[in-house]
Structure 1
C-alpha cells in the first residue's frame, strides 16, 4: 500500500514541508530508513539523523527548529511519537480488514454465533455457545471454550486459549500463547497432609480496550470473576491469580505475579518481576518498582514502593545509600573506639 505525504498529514492532523506528493509504502527507523519509507523523530538524541536519513517522509514535532536542510518531506505534528503510534494503528487496521472468512479446517459448533466480517484461522476451535462480535479476528489454533463471548473488533493471536464462560470485551488484543480462565490455585489442606482441590466455578471478565501480551495467564475466579478493567495493558509472561481485579488503565510489565484476591486500583504501574501477595488493596496511581515484593496494601493514592519487602520508594533509596556507606562508617567507628580507648587509658 502506498500513501502520499498529503494523505498521511490528513490522517494525523499534521502540516507538510516539502513535496506533499511523495509516497511511502513501509516504515523504518530514522537512522536506517531508505527511499519509500516513513520515519519519525521524537527523541532529540536522534536529531542528527534527520539531516542524513534516506527516508522519504519524516514526522517531527511542530516545535522542532531545523538546523540544516532536510531532504525528506517533513510532517509537523503536536507530538511526533503519539502521531506515529496513531499512524501505525491505522496501518494495522487496514491490514486487518483484509482478513475475513473461515479457513479450513476449523471447528465451529452448531450453537456458536459468528458476527459480520469475522476471520477464523485454520485449526481454531469454537465450542458450544461461543459468541463472536463483528470484525473479530481469531488466528489459527485458538481455542474458545463453551459460552465464551468475544466483543467487536477484538483480536486473538495464534494459540490463545480461553476456557468456558469467560468474557472478552470490544477492541481487545490478546497475543500468542496466553491462557484465560484456567483454574485458580485453590487447594484445601487436609489433616493427613494432602490437599483437596477447591472447584473454581467463576470466570474471567476482560473489559474493552485491554491488551494482553504473549504467554500470560489469567486464572478464573473461585466464585464471581477475575476482572481486567477497561484500558489495562499487560505485558508478556504475567500471572494473574483467581479473583484479582486490575483497575482501569493500569499497566503491568513482564514476569510480574499478582496473588489471589488482590485488588489493584486505576492508573497503577507495576514493574517487571514484581510480586504481590494475596488479599492486598493497591490504591489508584500507585507505582511499584521492578522486582519489588509487595506484602502490604498501598493505601495512599500515587504511593511508590520498592524493594523486598517493598516499602516507601524515597526511604528505600536513602537506606540503599546508607548501606553503601557502611564500610566507611565502620572504619570511622573503629577509629573513634580506638581514640576513646586511648583517652580512657590516659585518665587511668
Structure 2
C-alpha cells in the first residue's frame, strides 16, 4: 500500500514522497525498510531520524527528517488503526460445529460461528456474526448481541445480557455468584445471588476477569468500557461508559464508578464507594467507603495526587529525620547532665 493511499484513508497530509510502498507497521525502534511507524511528538525527533522506517506518522512536521512524513491530528490513533488494517483479520464464518451442545430452544442469528465443545443452554439468544470459541459455557436465558467474540474457556452464567461488539478473552467468568454471607448462630449463611449482569455495547473484557452477578438487580458494565486481565468486579457494582480498568483492580460490592474513569493497576475499591465521572485513581491506591469527587488521587487511603507526592517525599526522608532526632535527644541529654 502506498503512503498516499494511507493518507487518503486518514485525511492526512504528506511531506515527502507519497509513492513510497508501505508493507508493515512497527514500533519506532523495531522498524525495517517498508515499515511505517509513529512518534508522539517532535521531542522524539532523534528516534525518528535513527529509525529504519520508510515513513513516520507525526502531528507536526519535523525539519531535516529525510523520510516521508504523514501529518495527522492523532498519530497514535492512526498507528493503532494501521495495525488493525495490516494485521488483524476478521473472524471468518465457520458455521456451527456438530461437536457443540446447543439447546433446541436456543436462537442463533445469521452467520454465527460456534466451535467444538461449546455448551449453549436453554433459551439463549445469540445475535448475528458472533463467534464463540471452544470450551465456552453459556447459561440459560442469556442474551448475546451481534458481532461479539467470545474466546475459549469463558463461562457466562444464566440470565446475563451482553450487548453488541463485545469481546471477552479466555478464562473470564461472567455472572458468578456475588460474595454475600450473613453470620448467624456461629455460621456464615449464604445470601442467594438472584440478580444478573448487563454488559453494554463495545465493552472488551480481558483474560481471567470475574464479574459477579447482583444479589438482586444487575451488575452493570457501561458502553465502551475496557477491562484488563485479572480484574474482580463484585455484585451490584455499576461502572459507567468508556472507563479503563487496569489489571488486578478489585471493586467491592455496590460501588458506582462514573463515566470516563481510569482505575490503574492494583487499585482496591471498598464497598459502597461512589466515584465521580472523569476521576483517575493511580496504581495501588486504596479507596475507602464514601464519595470521591472528580480529580486525580493516589495512596491508601487515597488523597489528592499532588498532596500524595509531597507526603511521599517526606516519607522517604523519615530515616534521616529519625537519625537527626536521636542526635538532638542525645545533645539535650548531655546539656541536662551539665
* Superposition TM-score, scaled by structure 1 size: 0.87
Aligned residues: 338
2:292 pairs with one of 299, 313, 316: 299
Q: 1:122 to 1:41 in 2, by over 3 A?
A: farther
User: Who is 1:132 aligned against?
Assistant: 126
- Considering only aligned residues, what root-mean-square deviation do their CA atoms show, in Å? 2.5
SS at match of 2:70: strand
* Superposition TM-score, scaled by structure 2 size: 0.89
User: Who is 2:318 aligned against?
Assistant: 326
Q: How does 1:203-282 map to 2 (within 5 A)?
A: 203-282=196-275
Contact 2:23 2:35 (C-alpha < 8 Å) held by counterparts: yes
1:60 pairs with one of 57, 64, 79: 57
SS at match of 1:101: coil
Q: How does 1:142-157 map to 2 (within 5 A)?
A: 142-157=136-151
Q: 1:342 to 1:11 in 2, by over 3 A?
A: same
Contact 2:272 2:289 (C-alpha < 8 Å) held by counterparts: no
Structure 1 residue 312: Cα displacement: 3.3
Once residues 322 and 197 of structure 1 are traced to their aligned partners in structure 2, the CA distance between those partners, rounded to angstroms, is 46
1:13 pairs with one of 11, 20, 40: 11
Q: 1:31 to 1:337 in 2, by over 3 A?
A: closer
Structure 1 residue 299: Cα displacement: 3.3
1:111 aligns with 2:105: yes
Q: 1:182 to 1:75 in 2, by over 3 A?
A: same
Once residues 175 and 28 of structure 1 are traced to their aligned partners in structure 2, the CA distance between those partners, rounded to angstroms, is 24
1:171 aligns with 2:160: no
Deviations 1:238-297 (A, max 9, x none): 000111111112211111101111111122211211111111112222222211222232
Contact 1:59 1:77 (C-alpha < 8 Å) held by counterparts: no
Structure 1 residue 223: Cα displacement: 0.5
Deviations 1:76-116 (A, max 9, x none): 222210111223345567x2153442344222222222222
Structure 2 unmatched ranges of 5 or more? none
SS at match of 1:96: coil
Structure 1 residue 51: Cα displacement: 3.7
1:33 aligns with 2:28: no
Deviations 1:103-154 (A, max 9, x none): 4422222222222232222222222212122221222222211121111222
Contact 1:30 1:53 (C-alpha < 8 Å) held by counterparts: yes
